[in-house]
């Protein structure tokens, strides 16, 4: 079962581990050039959580794809940029399109009036994806820039983010419980016969 939700700042390790699982070719497409583990780790440490929003897809608690939305201003007014990565084994399932759709909703709700997505010219999956959401696509020096449609927020989009935000917290809590007390995350009534002290 795939779970789509926003990724919390406390889950930075999940974002880092996802990026580290990308192979050499995937890293070139995502980061516009060869990128070593140390650079990825350092990049994750520098994330500005006042401006950055992450929408991820999880399978059994592991982040397998993520849309990174970075807004120009913490208040969200103005423009933003989205970048998407999906691990190779999880492609061709419509994951990229769903991540992009959800990231655009987050941008709408946070006041973005324009959002762009930039990819390399030979990144055919992202080019196809952008064509379904873009108002305008332009090519410059080996890169493709898509201007994505960003309508104003509605009560429905705002409520959707608020409602799913609560589930995000629950899902994240269950992931954490599962890592410490595997039995606890499986019991729907919340009862557990496991010790309250995490396993060493």
Q: Where are the domains of the chain?
A: 2-183
Comparing 10-14, 65-69, 186-190, which segment has the lowest mean pLDDT?
A: 186-190
For residue 185, is pLDDT > 50? no
Q: What CA–CA distance (Å, rounded) separates 6 from 171?
A: 10
pLDDT class for 179, splitting at 50, 70, 90?
Answer: very low
Angle of helix 95-109 relative to helix 124-133, nearest 10 degrees?
50
pLDDT attached to residue 168: 52
For residue 148, is pLDDT > 60? yes
- Scan for tokens 């890293």, then name that residue: 27
pLDDT attached to residue 186: 45
The domain made up of 2-183 has a fold known as Aminopeptidase (3.40.630)
């Amino acid at each position: 079962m795939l779970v789509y939700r926003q990724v919390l700042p406390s889950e930075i390790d999940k974002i880092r581990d996802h990026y580290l699982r990308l192979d050499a070719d995937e890293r070139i497409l995502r980061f516009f050039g060869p990128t070593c583990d140390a650079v990825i780790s350092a990049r994750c440490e520098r994330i500005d959580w006042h401006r950055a929003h992450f929408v991820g897809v999880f399978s059994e608690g592991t982040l397998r794809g993520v849309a990174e939305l970075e807004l120009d201003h913490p208040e969200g007014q103005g423009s933003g940029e989205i970048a998407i990565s999906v691990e190779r084994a999880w492609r061709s399932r419509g994951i990229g399109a769903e991540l992009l759709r959800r990231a655009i909703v987050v941008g709408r709700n946070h006041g973005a009036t324009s959002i762009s997505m930039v990819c390399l010219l030979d990144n055919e999956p992202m080019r196809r994806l952008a064509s379904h959401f873009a108002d305008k696509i332009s090519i410059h020096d080996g890169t493709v820039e898509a201007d994505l449609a960003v309508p104003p927020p509605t009560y429905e989009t705002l409520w959707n983010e608020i409602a799913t935000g609560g589930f995000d917290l629950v899902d994240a809590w269950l992931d954490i419980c599962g890592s410490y007390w595997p039995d606890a995350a499986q019991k729907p009534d919340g009862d557990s016969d496991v010790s309250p002290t995490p396993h060493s």
